[in-house]
Every structure is written in C-alpha cells, then in structure tokens.
Amino acid sequence: MALFDLPLEELRAYRSTSAEPEDFDAFWAETLGEAREHDLDARFAPVDTGLATVRVYDVTFAGFGGHPVKGWLTLPAAAEEPLPLVVEFLGYGGGRGLPHEHLLWASTGRAHFVMDTRGQGSGWGGGGGTADPVGGAPAYPGFLTRGLDAPGNYYYRRVFTDAVRAVEAARSHPLADPDRTVVLGGSQGGGITLAVGALVPGLVAVAPDVPFLCDFPRATTLTDRHPYREVGLYLRTHRGRTEDVLRTLSYFDGVHFAARGGAPALFSAALEDQTCPPSTVFAAFNAWAHEDKAIEVYDFNDHEGGGPFQQAAKVRWLRAYA
C-alpha cells in the first residue's frame, strides 16, 4: 500500500474535529472513583519459569467493578532496591501471554508490568487469562462496538479503568519505584497508554506506538480495515445512530486524553498504516499537552510501525527519564 493519508507536512499540523464532551473530566472522575471503592487487592505470586536472569510474579488485582485482572511483573533476578517501573498495555486481541514473551524491559534493569486485557487474549501470542464479566447491548463481532449504546456501558470504560488500576497495582510492589513510572504500548496498547497518561498523575514518561482509539470521526471513515471498520459495519445495521455512536466514542478518544497529557512523550507513526492511519496518530500527538514530546515517523511501513527499531528508540529515549 502506497501513501494514502495526508502528506507529512500536513500531518504535522493536523487537528482532529472530534468534539470533546463537556462532562469528560467528570465522567472519568466518577468512573475511577467507583473503581476505587473496591480494594485494589494486588497479589504477587512467584512463578517458576526456568528463566535465570529474571524473577516473575503472576499478578492479580481488582480492576473495573472489582473484577479480577491478571498481569505479569518481571524483575531483574538480582534486584534488591526499588527500580524504575515500565507498565505495558497490549495490542488488540492479545493477552499477557507467557512470561518469556516479555523480557526486554527487565533486561534494561527496570521492573516491568504487563496487563492482561479483559476478554481478549485469543487473537495472537500466548493467550490471556482475564474474563470480562460485563454483558452489553448487541455488538458487531470484535470489541470496538461492545456497549456502544452509552458511554457508561462501553467496553473501553472497563479497559481504561483496569489500566489505571494496573499502574496502581504495579506501583504497590516494594521493588517498583512509583516516582519513576513509565507507561507504553502499541496499537490498542498505545491508545490505552494515552488514556493512562491523562488519568494517572506522576508519570515520568509515556510512549504510545501507532496508537489505536484516536480521532474516531476520521478513523472510522478513512480506513476500511478492522478494527475501525467494526464501527461502520455496526452502523450499517443500526441506521441513523451515527451521532449517538460518535458521542459515546468521544469519551474514549485518545485526542481528548492527549490534551491532558502531563508527561514527556515519544510517539511513533507509520505513513502506510491503514489500521491506525497516520493522521489519527498525529491528531493525538499534536494535541499532547506536555511540551516535551517527539514522534518517530516510519515512511514505508504499515501497522508494524518501527518494530524492533522503535523498541531500540524507546530504550535510548527512556534513559533520560527512568
């Protein structure tokens, strides 16, 4: 696929037309307040993985609604003092997988926590282990339209709340330094990262790669690739509901979270990315509130973005922060 979105010079100036709800902050304050009525109950069970250079813990904590959410905490084997903490969120359809799939960040001398995504973990990788016990209105197969009838019912309200609680759980471990916490992820994980970057105070850095869940008005009409196409296929049956759907999605749009971003950020975008079109990524990047921000651009890549090159870029970049 050749370039299909705006030219790079226009991307650098592009701004989303997504309308921010007047009660955006109140909605999220109420949502997180309800979640915190449940004891976090973070539990760290040691796992015998056969890996000699790291220690791994099977983590369970209370997310949205007090529902149990899983994760892995991986530490350098010799860790004795609190370490900088990297909290990672995963791409669409994936789960936390197996511990040996997540060795990069502990290899840099940091504590690493990866959150399982509720209801996912059957699309790629080593699977997941977190159910989503909440039902909802009729939806198109996938996750993007689950509970789309109202903001309070929407699937990503639960996921974003889980992610905030995941940071709180990871920070509670005695070998994780809460004052040196980084959040990152790619695609769906990048969209979750944007939300956490706005909702969690005291982060030292944020790194969303080719983030999903951004600039819904443009994304859902620009690309016919899934997952964004799920919204169009839903509306093909639920005729006349476009305005209501976009209103629900506006409470979860990475552009509005970006406007509240309070930490240095490193984004990445790929100019041939049809899954998360570059204009939607730049919409979030251009809205990111913190002045210390940068974006890596991969001219001839699709949704793989920078792949291992972007991982190396993040390792270099994070040396200045945590």
Let me know if 187 is a catalytic residue: yes
Q: For residue 228, give Cα distances in angstroms to 19, 62, 132.
A: 18, 29, 21
Q: How confident is the model at residue 1 (pLDDT cuts 50, 70, 90)?
A: low
Dmax over CA atoms of the chain, in Å, equals 59
Domains and their CATH numbers in the chain: 8-318 (3.40.50.1820)
Does the annotation mark 292 as catalytic? no
Task: Summarize pLDDT for 236-283 with one digit per residue, the tens.
Answer: 999 999 999 999 999 999 999 999 999 999 999 999 999 999 999 999
Residue 276, burial from CB neighbour count under 10 angstroms (0-12, 13-18, 19+): buried
Question: Could you give the CA distance from residue 41 to residue 285 in angstroms, rounded to a whole number?
Answer: 35
DSSP 110: -
The answer to whether the predicted template modeling score (pTM) of the entire model surpasses 0.95 is yes
Distance CA 97, CA 115 (A): 10
Catalytic residue (one of 187, 250, 268, 279): 187
Task: Check 116, 256, 273, 279 and give the catalytic one.
Answer: 273
- Of 102, 112, 256, 303, the catalytic one is 303
Tens-place pLDDT, residues 68-103: 999 999 999 999 999 999 999 999 999 999 999 999
- Residue-wise pLDDT tens digits, 105-126: 999 999 999 999 999 998 878 8
* Share above pLDDT 90 across residues of the chain, in percent, rounded to a whole number: 94
pLDDT tens column, 291-303? 999 999 999 999 9
Q: Give the annotated binding-site residues for substrate.
A: 92
136 band by pLDDT with thresholds 50, 70 and 90: confident
Whether 179 is catalytic is no
Residue 141: per-residue pLDDT: 87
Look at residues 171, 170, 140 and name the one whose alpha carbon lies nearest to residue 155.
Answer: 140
